[in-house]
Amino acid sequence: MSAKKGLHLTLKIWRQKNNKSKGQFETYKISDVSTDSSFLEMLDILNENLINEGKEPIAFDHDCREGICGMCSLYINGRAHGPDTGITTCQLHMRMFKDGETIVIEPWRSAAFPVIKDLMVDRSAFDRVMAAGGFVSVNTSGNTLDANAIPVPKEDADKAMDAAACIGCGACVATCKNGSAMLFVGAKVSQFALLPQGRVEAKRRVLNMVKAMDEEGFGNCSNTGACEVECPKGISLENIARMNREYMSAFVDQG
């Protein structure tokens, strides 16, 4: 039997020294790429070739490579995380591409996610939104109750867990024409709002997180639903609606 033929590809990759410099696409050729390899493994091979040629490798984010951390965020051929659904970039395999194909690879495009270098962006805006209210204050006086002792309806627990599945990759922001972070913030508000442990500071939480989101420069919801489609964890638009209800209730109550 003859060996399985690898892919021969043309890669158009965004190169940018830092946030202050002007970036541009540069073209690279890569040959004999196994269809069984992941997209990040393909970039590893390309970087190894560039290093052997004495050239600077391409900077891109990655960590767990298991679809958990959300670090490997790339815009590939006009889609967040590439031409597949329900996955992160590290879970994308080269069998999704054809021999001879040209692949365009970009970083997330958002004013709130400035480019650090090449394909890496600064997503610390999400961290600041979370710091504004994405937590539950715990009473450690010794009088706390075991969380398991508080009854929670299964439907609410399931919805909270679905919202908590958000990994903060930013695909929702990258794919939204307005660069909105409402799916991310909606998910983080929902995972607490649906549970009794999160109700104590619910009003303060949603007001602070929405304020932080606006201050970071994220856009408004475009109502196109692209964020839900491209979210690797399938976070529902229902979380945006829940956040809006929580916000209106809190806004009215504050007088």
Contacts 24+ apart (CB under 8 A), 159-164: 159/190, 159/194, 159/238, 160/190, 160/191, 160/192, 160/194, 160/195, 161/191, 162/235, 162/236, 163/187, 163/188, 163/190, 163/191, 163/194, 163/235, 163/239, 164/191
User: pLDDT tens for residues 93-144?
Assistant: 999 999 999 999 999 999 999 999 999 999 999 999 999 999 988 765 666 6
> What is the pLDDT at residue 145?
64
- Quick check: 3 pLDDT over 70? no
Residues 6+ apart with CB under 8 A from 50: 28, 56, 57, 58
pLDDT of 151? 86
Is residue 60 within 8 Å of 117, Cβ to Cβ? no
Higher pLDDT, 138 or 24: 24
pLDDT value of residue 49:
97
**How high is the pLDDT of residue 25?**
98
Are 45 and 52 within 8 A, CB to CB?
A: no
Q: Check residue 143 and give its pLDDT.
A: 66
Task: Express each pLDDT in 152-174 by its tens digit.
Answer: 999 999 999 999 999 999 999 99
> What pLDDT is recorded for position 5?
79
214: Cβ contacts below 8 Å, ≥ 6 apart? none
Q: pLDDT for 177-222, tens place per residue?
A: 999 999 999 999 999 999 998 999 999 999 999 999 999 999 999 8
Helices assigned H by DSSP within the chain: 39-52, 124-133, 154-164, 171-175, 182-193, 196-199, 202-215, 226-230, 238-253
Identify the pLDDT of residue 140.
59
Query: What confidence category does residue 72 fall into, taking pLDDT thresholds of 50, 70 and 90?
Result: very high
Query: Given this model, what pLDDT does residue 1 score?
Result: 41
Q: Give the tens place of pLDDT for each residue, 31-60.
A: 999 999 999 999 999 999 999 999 999 999
